[in-house]
Structure 1
Amino acid sequence: MPNPKGNPQNFEPIKTDREEPLIANLSFRVSERMKEEVKAQEDPAQFCRDAIQEALDKKKKT
C-alpha cells in the first residue's frame, strides 16, 4: 500500500543547471492552429521560451 503522505523526495525543490531556474508560469490564449503547430515541435516548452526570448531581445535592440 502506498504511503498516503507521499514520498518525501517529492517535496524537495527541483535542481537545475540553468542560469535562471524556471519557477514561474505564464499562460495565454492562442488559436487552435497555433496550439497544434507548437505541440508538433520536438520540445514545445523550450520552443516557446526561445521564441519569447528572441522577441524580447529584438524589442530591446530597438
Structure 2
Amino acid sequence: MANPKGNPQNFDNPPSKDLTSTVTFRCTDEMKEEIKSQDNPGQFCRDAVQEKLDKNKNK
C-alpha cells in the first residue's frame, strides 16, 4: 500500500524533509481547474508558495 503522506524522494524535496503538513485555502473555480490541469498539481503549488516566500524574504 502506498504511503498516504507521500514519499519525499518522489518530489523535488530534500530527502531530509517529510511532506507531512497540509495547507488548505480558498480559490476560484477557475484557479482550481488551472491548478488541477498541471502535470503535478501538488508540486506546482509547493513551488509557487516557495517562490513567493523567497521573494518576500528578500524584500
Q: Which residue of 1 aligns with 2:56?
A: 59
> Which residue, out of 36, 41, 44, partners 2:38?
41
Higher Rg of the two aligned structures: 1
% identity of equivalent residues: 42
Count of residues paired in the alignment = 53
Q: Which residue of 1 aligns with 2:25?
A: 28
- Relative CO higher for 1 or 2, CA cutoff 8 Å, sep ≥ 6? 2
Structure 2: state its 5+ residue gaps.
10-14
Structure 1: state its 5+ residue gaps.
1-8
Looking at structure 1, the residues matched to 6 and 36 of structure 2 have their Cα atoms a distance apart, in angstroms, of: 24
**TM-score of the pair, normalised by structure 1:** 0.72
Q: Which residue of 1 aligns with 2:47?
A: 50
Q: Kindly report structure 1 stretches of 4+ aligned residues shifted beyond 3 Å.
A: 13-17
Q: Deviations over 1:21-52 (max 9, x none)?
A: 10101001000000000000000000000000
How big is the alpha-carbon RMSD for the aligned residues of Structure 1 and Structure 2?
A: 2.3
Shift of 1:14: 6.1
